[in-house]
Structure 1
Amino acid sequence: MPKVRITVLKTTFHQDLVDEYLVNEELRKNFGTCFVFEEGQMFISADWPSKPEGFCERAWPNIQHEVSMVMYGASAPWIEKPGYTITCCNDGLRPVIFKVERIPDEDQD
């Protein structure tokens, strides 16, 4: 089965949106970037459609489409390199940006 590497490119945080939309002031004070992922962290998806071990339960359904697309040979036409795409989870206050890349067959052993 083809494999895909998922790399955390960026963990972002929108303080302006937190200040405007979070109701609980105590929560606002302690809210920050995603606590699950760190930039540079990598995961391998090899057992479709299972979530890679340690991957966020909430983010996985957000990026499954892109993972399957890349895993089975498609490429996003707006991305310069074939076999890659850039995607993110749907947490609007602290989205995480991922690079999804197909692992070449010779590197899959």
Structure 2
Amino acid sequence: MKKIKITVIRKACYKDLTEQYENPIEHACDMREGQVFIADGWQKPEGLCDSAWQTLSPFVMTLAHGGTNIYDGWMKNPASAMISCNDGFRPVSFLVETLEK
């Protein structure tokens, strides 16, 4: 099974949506742009958000088992995917890529 690199590429925050729809919370996301995680199979990397892992894990498993071209030519590197977590207020975009060819 191949190791998979998960890189935090971008964090967004939609203040208009949080003000309109979200109950106030003190802390929502620990991810930092440039942060890197290494996935070894089905194990969630330490420090990666549980919600993000739920979104990323099917793509991680596909790539870890040698799958490529997930969306039929969508990515320049066929052994990668750009995936965002499912937080509609503060989405985080992750680059998921195979480390081993």
Q: Take 1:18 and 1:9, find their aligned partners in 2: how far apart are those partners?
A: 22
* Structure 2: runs of 5+ lacking an equivalent: none
Q: Aligned partners of 2:66 and 2:14: how far apart in 1?
A: 34
Quick one: which of 17, 21, 34 aligns to 1:40? Answer: 34
Structure 1 position 44, deviation (Å):
0.3
Structure 1: tracts of 5 or more residues without a match: none
How far is the alpha carbon of 1:102 from its aligned partner? Answer: 0.2
Residue 73 (structure 1) aligns with? 66
Per-residue CA deviations over 1:26-80 (Å, capped at 9, x if unaligned) read x27x67xx5310000000001x211111111221111111111111222222112
Larger Rg: 1
Q: TM-score, normalised by structure 1?
A: 0.80
1:100 equivalent in structure 2: 96
Which secondary structure state, in structure 2, belongs to the residue aligned with residue 74 of structure 1? coil
Going by fraction, where is helix more abundant, 1 or 2? 1
Q: How many residues in Structure 1 have an aligned counterpart in Structure 2?
A: 98
Report the identity percentage: 36
Q: Provide the residue aligned with 2:49 in structure 1.
A: 56
C-alpha distance in structure 2 between counterparts of 1:2 and 1:12, whole Å: 30
